[in-house]
A and B are shown apart, each in its own frame.
Chain A
């Protein structure tokens, strides 16, 4: 997979403004996505954290086997609206 480090965009307290920044609901401040996360970080479901997700480390994209038809998926995608998501 590509870049998998934790960012503010993975946090449930984060509201995305654009590709570089957003608002932290806890502090009401604008923060850069790639700045260091704090102790209140609250991980949102992501495809890479789902039991139906698989990839080999050489591939940027993985496979989702959670739906009837297996399909490629980006592990960085948000999964909170996926009916098949099962966290690992």
Chain B
């Protein structure tokens, strides 16, 4: 009998496990390895330096125009950030004092910092956060654990508490809560969060992100010229409405604010330059001395001037990336098509002999270490539950140029090589697959996949262009601009534009981001949980409460049941979007973006920040769902067993689900892992129905019954989500990528009709098959996954696990590219791989001390195995492992 409850092997057998290793990988140079070693040995840390100086300046300026107050606070925070240069680094500047670190932003949300319980553990406790890697899950010595993940110096705890208390009643979160009580549906919204039908108050927990940056202005003008241009614009618009009676005058405040934050960033750069000069003077070792001098020279130049060399451009790029990330609790502000953005400097330096490819590689590898060191500190739900602390600095490769020709360049090969030599979670890589890309480049991408990094993910470039044209056509998106697409965060297809960089008289079109965050809207909707509510007349047996209005229907046909699912879905989104719109509105009014917004078109042109629709593309917000295939497989089983074969009554099935098919609950077992579930003693009452649920057709086997239900759902979803409106007055769009939500949302969902047991993870991604249920090989899975139009939804996601022997050697590399190409040609939007022997993962569970650097692709992100929770680890182990048929 096929089983979704997978038997756990004994520790004894696991200790003896033999496994096929991934193909040999190259290594970074000694300096980079040392820097990476520092990361491996570092703890996830927070401090309050940025937090303090932001708050203090904010309080000093009570009563002034909010935009200016925010800018002054940001400026002060950057001016007071202690510079740090770790010996050996060439690319410098980091998020905060600690090499691996982050800091809280209680002006956005901070109530969790005042709650002892949430200070101690993330939302789902031990089932979400692993004790391995750098997670600080317990207090020790003079270090206290915050939110079950971060370490804080004990002597700083009083300051953290004081800061959190000082924002009580005035943070975005607090103001939102004051307003929310007057919004119809507040009680229902809280119930939906309480039951985890939705995951969080997403409008303020992560304010920006899952978008791509745009570095055009700093790279083309340099800071000083940019400041001069801004001063001119300030003078031009001061006190003039120029036909805009609502926000015309605001332009002056915005330009002034950009000047203020740029001065703060300039000061932050110069503090690092001063430190480098001091270290140069103190240093006796010639190589160290030279290194500090070069750092100082680079920083002293970019603090004022347009970059002239690759190193200067790269440092400026990195500096502004960190600056943008420090503006808000941000997840997934992605560098975009870095290799194409920085190519002008690379090309000219290589041609002039100013640098070598090895030197560039070293810098690229150092960027990987620097970005991996950067943590995110947001609400415990976000930090622990959703993404395991991942920051999603997605770097896109490939795609096409403005004229439609391949955009691949030599620097992108080096980015891949750096990703192979220095395999780290950040920046994750995405290949924008297009038929026009050179075979050699695509094979290089596969070579990178085969080292087991999980990156690059593969995104269908032509699909993505279609997605952008559908989503932003009414805002003026052209085919040319759509070709500037990049990936924001894990998988958002982010709108872009091309701008022209002039370097030494030569012109280059470089792509950059041009759209709002995609972190608003509704996320992440637990589809199997909504189906559970349908089967239980809106009642949640886990929390013992009526969540949705009872439908009081007896379903005579499958369509009636399916329609009720759709009705509940619509009801849920209708309530949640109202609150998200208000949350985001309060955020844009009180906590507007200045740093990130000024860099993207057309904020500087319009004089408006992104909360005022300063960006060119604003139709970015989505309704993102989780557990698509668990829900689809459940519908398939219901249709087959109840309405077609009439083998069971719906009540019988529901009774079996409520009784977890005779298994103990995950709470009773003490584990939410799909490996650990145990049957109740002497319980055979539900064996038959359990067997039949497991045997019912499943997604991923090219089964017409299953595929038809998926297509029906997807076609309806696109239409339904489009009926909702964001706070920007734009349509919402469906998104079908989630990160780690399938773990925590699975943990609160009862058993489902597909045979999944209560509390265990949902199917990962949105197009993946449930582990072990895709029996007909990868091409059958591709057939099933592409029965609907993937351009109707943002980046529907497919994870695939390949055994190393399936893709071994040069022939294996070509086979893997063929596999990928096959899915893309069928219209698949996204595929990503884990190339690993599952026994290797089992061994890593038993002997984590030997696997500090083991990476796996989870769901839209690559992460260290040892920092993942056990349920997620077990879900990755359980995924179908393709050995043949590839």
Interchain CB contact under 8 A, B59 and A71: yes
Q: How far is the CA of A30 from the CA of B162 in the complex (A)?
A: 32
Using C-beta atoms within 8 Å of the partner chain, give the interface range for chain B: 35 or more
Q: How near does chain B come to A46, taking the closest CB pair, in angstroms?
A: 11
Interchain CB contact under 8 A, A18 and B98: yes
**Known contacts A61-B159, A77-B52; is-contact A15 B154 (Cβ 8 Å):** no
Q: Which of B76-84, B299-307, B587-595, B876-884 contacts A (4 or more CB under 8 A)?
A: B76-84
Interchain CB contact under 8 A, B84 and A19: no
Q: Which of A3, A17, A61 contacts B100 (CB 8 A)?
A: A17
> Which residues of A have CB within 8 Å of B48?
74
Q: Which of A20, A67, A74 contacts B158 (CB 8 A)?
A: A74
**Known contacts A18-B45, A69-B60, A72-B162; is-contact A81 B98 (Cβ 8 Å):** no
Q: How far is the CA of A71 from the CA of B56 in the complex (A)?
A: 7
Q: How near does chain B come to A6, taking the closest CB pair, in angstroms?
A: 12
Whether a CB of chain A sits under 8 angstroms from the CB of B313 is: no
Q: Which of B136, B142, B158, B282 contacts A33 (CB 8 A)?
A: B142
Q: How far is the CA of A71 from the CA of B80 in the complex (A)?
A: 16
**Known contacts A18-B42, A69-B60; is-contact A81 B87 (Cβ 8 Å):** no
Q: How far is the CA of A76 from the CA of B158 in the complex (A)?
A: 11
Residues 1 to 50 of chain B near chain A (Cβ within 8 Å): 38, 41-49
Q: Which of B79, B81, B99, B155 contacts A17 (CB 8 A)?
A: B99
Q: How far is the CA of A82 from the CA of B9 in the complex (A)?
A: 59
Interchain CB contact under 8 A, A74 and B100: no
> Which residues of B have CB within 8 Å of A56?
none
Q: How near does chain A come to B24, taking the closest CB pair, in angstroms?
A: 29
Whether a CB of chain A sits under 8 angstroms from the CB of B141 is: yes
Q: How near does chain A come to B732, taking the closest CB pair, in angstroms?
A: 41
Whether a CB of chain A sits under 8 angstroms from the CB of B293 is: no
**Known contacts A2-B154, A15-B85, A17-B100; is-contact A74 B52 (Cβ 8 Å):** yes
**Known contacts A18-B151, A20-B151; is-contact A3 B142 (Cβ 8 Å):** yes
Interchain CB contact under 8 A, B155 and A19: no
> Which residues of A have CB within 8 Å of B151?
18-20
**Known contacts A18-B151, A23-B87, A80-B82; is-contact A74 B159 (Cβ 8 Å):** yes
Q: How does the 8 Å CB contact mask read for A60-80 relative to B, with 1 for contact and 0 for none?
A: 110000011101111011101
Interchain CB contact under 8 A, A19 and B82: no
Chain A residue nearest to B82 (CB atoms) is A78
Q: How far is the CA of A81 from the CA of B154 in the complex (A)?
A: 23
Q: How near does chain A come to B123, taking the closest CB pair, in angstroms?
A: 23
Interchain CB contact under 8 A, A61 and B162: yes
Whether a CB of chain A sits under 8 angstroms from the CB of B731 is: no
Q: How near does chain B come to A57, taking the closest CB pair, in angstroms?
A: 14
Residues 572 to 597 of chain B near chain A (Cβ within 8 Å): none
> Which residues of B have CB within 8 Å of A30?
38, 41
Interchain CB contact under 8 A, A17 and B42: yes
> Which residues of A have CB within 8 Å of B279?
25
Q: How far is the CA of A60 from the CA of B99 in the complex (A)?
A: 27
Using C-beta atoms within 8 Å of the partner chain, give the interface range for chain A: 20 to 34
Q: Which of B41, B60, B79 contacts A68 (CB 8 A)?
A: B60
> Which residues of B have CB within 8 Å of A9?
153
Q: How does the 8 Å CB contact mask read for B121-148 relative to A, with 1 for contact and 0 for none?
A: 0000000000000101000011100000
> Which residues of A have CB within 8 Å of B38?
17, 23, 30
> Which residues of B have CB within 8 Å of A69?
59-60
Interchain CB contact under 8 A, B86 and A71: no
Q: How far is the CA of A67 from the CA of B97 in the complex (A)?
A: 23
Whether a CB of chain A sits under 8 angstroms from the CB of B349 is: no
Q: How near does chain B come to A33, taking the closest CB pair, in angstroms?
A: 7
Whether a CB of chain A sits under 8 angstroms from the CB of B755 is: no
Interchain CB contact under 8 A, A81 and B142: no
Whether a CB of chain A sits under 8 angstroms from the CB of B616 is: no
Whether a CB of chain A sits under 8 angstroms from the CB of B101 is: yes
> Which residues of B have CB within 8 Å of A18?
42-45, 98-101, 134, 151
Interchain CB contact under 8 A, B49 and A78: yes
Q: Which of B79, B85, B98, B271 contacts A19 (CB 8 A)?
A: B98
> Which residues of B have CB within 8 Å of A78?
49, 82, 97
Q: How far is the CA of A33 from the CA of B151 in the complex (A)?
A: 13
> Which residues of A have CB within 8 Å of B80?
81-82
Whether a CB of chain A sits under 8 angstroms from the CB of B629 is: no
Whether a CB of chain B sits under 8 angstroms from the CB of A49 is: no
Q: How does the 8 Å CB contact mask read for A2-30 relative to B, with 1 for contact and 0 for none?
A: 11100001000001111111110100101
Q: Which 3 pairs from chain A and chain B are nearest by CB?
A: A60-B158, A3-B155, A19-B151
Binding site for B on A (CB under 8 A): 2-4, 9, 15-23, 25, 28, 30, 33-34, 60-61, 67-69, 71-74, 76-78, 80-82
| Extra contacts besides A74-B156, A76-B156 (10): CB < 8 Å | A15-B85, A19-B143, A19-B152, A20-B43, A30-B41, A71-B59, A74-B48, A74-B158, A74-B159, A76-B159
